[in-house]
Amino acid sequence: MSQASARQLIRDGVVGTLAGSASILCAIPATAHVLSVSQGSLRLAGQAVQYELRMPLSEVPEDENPQATLLEAFQVFSQGQAGVLADQACREEAGQGLYICEAEYRFAAPPAKISVRCDFPSVTVPHHMHILQSGEGDSARQTVFDITSRQSEIRFVPPTLGEVVATNVGAGSRKAITSPELLLFLAVLALAARSRREFFVCAGAFLCAQTAVAATAGTLGWIPPLRFLEAAAALTVAYMASEILFLPDARHRWIVCGSMGCFHGLFLAAFLAATAMKAPYFLSGAISTEGLIVTAAGAIRLRCVNGRAEQLVAILLLVGGLAWFGLRLID
C-alpha cells in the first residue's frame, strides 16, 4: 500500500469515527435531561443500615413500579453478604419536585464495614450521578456514583482533607466526561479552529468564561431554569456548527467561544447548587479534564480532518443541535 493510500485510509477512518460519534452524541440529550443528579444518605442503626434517596421527579424511571426499580438498583453489602431490604417506602413530594424513598437494609450482626453498589445510571440515564452521604453533619463523607464508578466502600468516619479534595476533583472530572451537552460543544469547538493558535485562543476563552461563571453564578444566586439551559446549550452547538459551515472566514471567533462558555458555566453552577460539592476542587477537576479532552480533539482535527470531514461533522452537529433545541421547546 502506498503512503498516500495509507494516509487516505487513516483520514477516512477518522471521518467515520467523528461522524459516528457526533451522531451518537446528538442523540443522547434528546432522550433525557442533561443535568441528571440525585442525592442519598446512609446511617448505621445497630444491625441495620438506613438509606434515604432524594431524586428529582423528572429523573424517576417511567415504569409501573419505580420504587422497586430504584431500590433494586441500590444494594448494600457487609462482608460480601447483601443486606435484606426491609421497611421500604417511596413517595412523591410534588411541592419540592422530589421522589423520596426510605429503606432499611438489615444484617445478621452489626456491620463492621459497608460497601454499596449503585446502578442508577442503568435505570435512569447513562450520565446520572448519585451523591451519597454517609454520616451526619460536618463529619459526613461524600461518595459519588456514576457510569464510571458503580461500587464503593462506605466509611462512617469524618473524611480527611485529602479525601475531600480527591472526591470533589474526581467528581468534577467524571462530570466533564459524562456530560453530553459539554462533549458536543467541545467537539464543535475543536472543529471551529482553523489554526493551532486560534485553537488555543478559542479553547482558552471558553474555559476561562466557563470557570468564571460557574464560580460566581451560585454566589450571586442567579441560575436560570434547567430547561432554559438545555435549550441554550443546544443552540451553542448549532450556532458554532453553522458558523463553521456558512461563515468559514469569520474573525474573532474566540469571542463567540467565550460567550458560549458562559452558558456552559451555568450548567456547572447548577450542579454545584444541587449538591454539596466544594466549588474550587470540583471546578479544578472539571476544567482540567475539559482541557485534556478538547486538546486531544483539537490535535486530531488539525492533523487528520480535511474540509470534507469538517463539513460532514459540522452538518451532523448542526442538525443534532437544532433537533435537540426543538425537542426541548416541545418538552
The structural domains of the chain, with segments of one domain joined by +, span 3-34+179-330, 37-159
Q: Note the CATH number of domain 37-159.
A: 2.60.40
Question: What is the per-residue pLDDT across 274-287, written as a single tens digit (0 to 9) for each?
Answer: 887 899 999 999 99
Closest CA to 59 of 40, 39, 41, 33: 33
pLDDT at residue 138, rounded to an integer? 62
> pLDDT grade, residue 318 (50/70/90)?
confident
Evaluated on CA atoms 172, 186, 240, 208, the torsion sign reads: positive
The whole-angstrom separation of Cα 209 and Cα 268 is 12
DSSP H or E stretch at residue 29: none
List helix spans (H) across 110-195: 120-123, 161-177, 180-192
The amino acid sitting at 225 is P
Residues 105 and 51: beta-carbon distance below 8 Å: yes
- Give the angle subtended at the CA of 46 by the CAs of 43 and 48, to the nearest 5°: 60
Percentages (nearest 5) of helix, strand, coil residues in the chain: 60, 20, 20
> How do residues 80-128 score in pLDDT, each as one tens digit?
889 998 889 999 998 888 999 999 999 988 887 899 999 999 999 888 9
CA-to-CA distance for 250 and 77, rounded, in angstroms? Answer: 58
Tens digit of pLDDT for each residue in 166-201? 999 999 999 999 888 888 899 889 888 888 999 999
> Position 65: which residue type?
N
Predicted local confidence at residue 303, as pLDDT: 79
More confident residue, 102 or 304: 102
Q: Tell me, what's the pLDDT at 316?
A: 86
Out of 30-39, 70-79, 136-145, 238-247, the most confident range is: 70-79
- Cβ–Cβ under 8 Å, residues 132 and 74: no
**Could you tell me which of 176, 144, 43, 40 has the C-alpha nearest to residue 99?**
40
